[in-house]
Amino acid sequence: MIRERYLNALTLALFVAIPFWAISAEEPFTITLMTRAVVFAIAAVGLNIALGLGGLVSLGHAVFFGLGGYAMGILAYHAQNYTALTEWPFLIEGTKSMPVIWLVAVVVSSLAALVIGILSLRTAGVYFIMITLAFGQMFFFFAISWAEYGGEDGLSIYVRNGFPGLNTLDPIQFYGLCLGLLCLVLLFAWRLSGSPFGLALNAARQVPVRVETAGLDPVRLKLVAFVVSGAITGLAGALFADLNRFVSPTMFSWQTSGEIMIFIIIGGVGRLFGPVVGALVFVALEHWLGALSDFWHIYLGLLLLVIVLFGKGGVIGMICGREAVHD
Does the pLDDT value for residue 327 go beyond 70?
Answer: no
Measured distance CA(23)–CA(156) in Å, rounded: 28
Question: What is the percent of the chain with per-residue pLDDT over 70, rounded to a whole number?
Answer: 98
Amino acid at 211: V
Mean pLDDT, residues 193-214: 90
24 assigned to some structural domain: no
CA nearest 178: which of 17, 43, 30, 81?
A: 43
pLDDT band at 235 (very low <50, low <70, confident <90, very high): very high
pLDDT band at 75 (very low <50, low <70, confident <90, very high): very high
Average pLDDT over all residues of the chain: 91
Looking only at the bridges linking them, the beta strands covering 92-93 and 155-156 are unpaired
214 assigned to some structural domain: yes
183 assigned to some structural domain: yes
Does the pLDDT value for residue 285 go beyond 90?
Answer: no
Looking only at the bridges linking them, the beta strands covering 155-156 and 246-247 are antiparallel
327 assigned to some structural domain: no
Backbone angles phi, psi at 207, to 5 degrees: -135, 80
- Please tell me the predicted confidence (pLDDT) of residue 324: 46
Q: At what angle do helices 218-244 and 196-206 cross, to 10 degrees?
A: 110
Mean pLDDT, residues 28-56: 95
pLDDT one-digit tens code per residue, 22-37 = 999 888 899 999 999 9
* Domain total in the chain: 1
92 assigned to some structural domain: yes
254 assigned to some structural domain: yes
Mean pLDDT, residues 287-301: 82
Does the pLDDT value for residue 57 go beyond 60?
Answer: yes
Measured distance CA(91)–CA(86) in Å, rounded: 6
Measured distance CA(152)–CA(146) in Å, rounded: 8
pLDDT one-digit tens code per residue, 132-180 = 999 999 999 999 999 999 999 999 998 889 999 999 999 999 999 999 9
Mean pLDDT, residues 195-221: 91
Domain boundaries, position 269: 4-19+30-320
- Please tell me the predicted confidence (pLDDT) of residue 325: 41
325 assigned to some structural domain: no
187 assigned to some structural domain: yes
- Please tell me the predicted confidence (pLDDT) of residue 326: 41
Q: What is the pTM of this model?
A: 0.94
- Please tell me the predicted confidence (pLDDT) of residue 2: 67
- Contacts with 193 (C-beta within 8 Å, 6 or more apart), sequence order: 53, 202, 272, 325, 326
Residue 272 carries which DSSP code? Answer: S
User: How many other CB atoms are found less than 10 A from the CB of residue 166?
Assistant: 13
Measured distance CA(274)–CA(268) in Å, rounded: 5
CA 197-234-66 angle, to 5 degrees, is 140
Peptide bond into 28 cis (omega under 30): no
